[in-house]
Amino acid sequence: MATNKFCEITSEILALSELSKQASYIPPELYSKYDVKRGLRDINGKGVLVGLTEISDVCSTETINGEVVPAEGKLFYRGYNVQDLVRGIEPESHFGFEECTYLLLFGKLPTQEELQNFCKILSEYRTLPTSFVRDIILKAPSKDMMNTLARSVLTLYSYDDLADDISLPNVLRQCLQLISLFPLLSVYGYQAYRHYHDGASLFIHTPKPELSTAETILHILRPDSKYSPLEAKLLDIALILHMEHGGGNNSTFTTHLVSSSGTDTYSAIAAAIGSLKGPKHGGANIKVVQMFEDMKAVIHDWTDEDEVSSYLRALLHKEAFDRAGLIYGMGHAVYSLSDPRAVIFRSFVERLSKEKGYDKEFALYSMVERLAPQIIADERKIYKGVSPNVDFFSGFVYHMLDLPLELYTPIFAIARISGWSAHRLEELVNKGKIIRPAYKYVGHHFDS
């Protein structure tokens, strides 16, 4: 197939890129010499303190006799343990994503009346401008749904008469609209992609006002709009567990960073989407699913611990899957003994695997969950424990829900927009200075 001239890498570009590579290289030892904490993390993996927040708290240690030691992970939204929040909405009660969104934005759990009114506002906002689907989403659909989502968000700026107004009421209005519209922008973008790139039938289902966010996703995604109560409940749990994770994760810090410049909501959220798109951030659960697909194809007996262990060691030795030397879904930048989101997810995952006939796959996931931490400890020098993170199970959940790989990261964004919104509001309310960290110049000065 002929290469598109627009994206051709010419010999001149190759030569210039080599010059750029040479000009951009900084000797690694200089980072230690000048005490630069790369990734804003110290040598022990602890994040550099750059701000304050009341929105959420990620806990992985406790102090015993004056010594800080690893502890079972905990995650708090506005002071409430996420485990308690999830427990409060299962199994047959209301959906929790909207309730937790209210909590993140307004600092308290809503009363039943407040929740009903809030859901009504979100439902009323879940309507795209006239012809937006036809003119923006269906034309020139991208093969990457995060690209489609970012483009759609930036285009909504053009439909907003108060786009640049960063007063609190207006920003709140914009955030609530984006929270409501993210499912439509993501799923409609995927439907357009399937239709134009894969030749599939085009389905554009209109959202129903009585449905929750989780139900809306399944309703507008599936051709027959059908789903089981457990499927909708588990997707709701997934949204809750992904909606917020402290101010220091890359996309949320991006939201603070860009918001501090005084820019508009659409630009700030589009920047956060760009961050989440990166495979080191939002795309990790895709890697988990792909790794397990490779594992299932290579391993003859999924119940053989020795064979599974050999595969895991091959991963670490860069001899299997993508040869990156990683067991995807294992380990976290903050958590060590456990990721509370993975712990919460696990029981729901087991229930869905039984309903959907994925018992053997769940047994394999459980075996890897048990074996991988010990194998990593044997093969690598690590400063803290390793345990499954939320991505370890979320990709499996989306696979069981028949969600396409292309939507895995957008669903993360559908959840995280609630957290981004809360952090944008927090940044604007506190009127902080523009965020501008220092970079030390280590090049040379040339006399003229």
Structure confidence by residue, pLDDT tens digits, 156-196: 999 999 999 999 999 999 999 999 999 999 999 999 999 99
- Dist. CA 25–CA 190, nearest whole Å: 39
* 64 DSSP β-pair partners: 67
Tokens representing 364 are: 């394999």
**In the predicted structure, residue 369 carries a pLDDT above the cut 90:** yes
Looking at residue 205, its pLDDT comes to 96
For 260-279, what is the mean pLDDT? 96
- Which residues lie closer than 8 Å to 121 by C-beta, 6 or more apart? 176
pTM for this predicted structure: 0.93
Query: What pLDDT does residue 440 have?
Result: 94
As a whole number of angstroms, the distance between CA 273 and CA 282 comes to 9
SS3 211: coil
pLDDT at residue 237 greater than cutoff 60: yes
What pLDDT is attached to residue 3? 64
Going by pLDDT thresholds of 50, 70 and 90, the confidence category of residue 90 is low
In SS3 terms, 19-65 reads as HHHHHHCCCCHHHHHCCCCHHHECCCCCECCCCCCCCEEEEEEEEEC
* Ordered alpha helix ranges (H), 199-325: 213-221, 229-242, 250-259, 265-277, 284-298, 305-316
Q: What is the pLDDT of residue 280?
A: 86
Residue 5: the pLDDT is: 87
Q: Kindly state the average pLDDT of the residues 67-78.
A: 92
pLDDT of residue 156: 98
Catalytic pick from 332, 339, 399, 423?
332
Q: In this predicted structure, what is the pLDDT of residue 155?
A: 97
Residue 108 in tokens: 């308290």
- The end-to-end CA distance of the chain, in Å, is 51
Nearest to 439 by CA among 20, 34, 22: 34
Burial 392-417 (b: 16+ CB within 10 A, else e): bbbbbbbbbbebeebbbbbbbbbbbb
User: From the candidates 236, 264, 339, 391, which is the catalytic residue?
Assistant: 391
Residue 1 has pLDDT above 60, yes or no: no
**Residue 308: alpha-carbon gap to chain centroid:** 28
pLDDT bin (cut points 50, 70, 90) of residue 98 is: very high
Confidence of residue 40 (pLDDT cuts 50, 70, 90): confident
pLDDT digits (tens, 9 = 90+) for 120-160: 999 999 999 999 999 999 987 888 999 999 999 999 999 99
Rounded distance between C-alpha atoms, residue 258 and residue 424, angstroms: 9
**What gap in Å lies between CA 293 and CA 308, rounded to an integer?**
13
Q: Span 49-59, mean pLDDT? A: 95
pLDDT at 2 over 60: no
pLDDT given for residue 248 in this prediction: 92
Residue 44 has pLDDT above 90, yes or no: no
Tally the residues of the chain.
448
- What are the angstrom distances between the C-alpha of 179 and each of 62, 209, 216, 280? 35, 15, 13, 24
Q: Is the pLDDT of residue 381 over 80?
A: no
Query: How much is the CA Rg of the chain, to the nearest whole Å?
Result: 23
Whether the Cβ atoms of residue 386 and residue 336 lie closer than 8 Å to each other: yes
For the segment 204-224, the average pLDDT, to the nearest whole number, is 97
Section 210-237 average pLDDT: 95
Residue that is written with structure tokens 């937006």 in the block? 132
Measured in whole angstroms, the distance separating CA 125 from the mean position of its chain's CA atoms is 23
Assign 91 a pLDDT band (cuts: 50, 70, 90): low
- Asked whether residue 36 carries a pLDDT value surpassing 90, the answer given is yes
Mean pLDDT of the chain: 93
Active site residue 332: yes
State the pLDDT confidence band at 93, using cuts at 50, 70 and 90: low
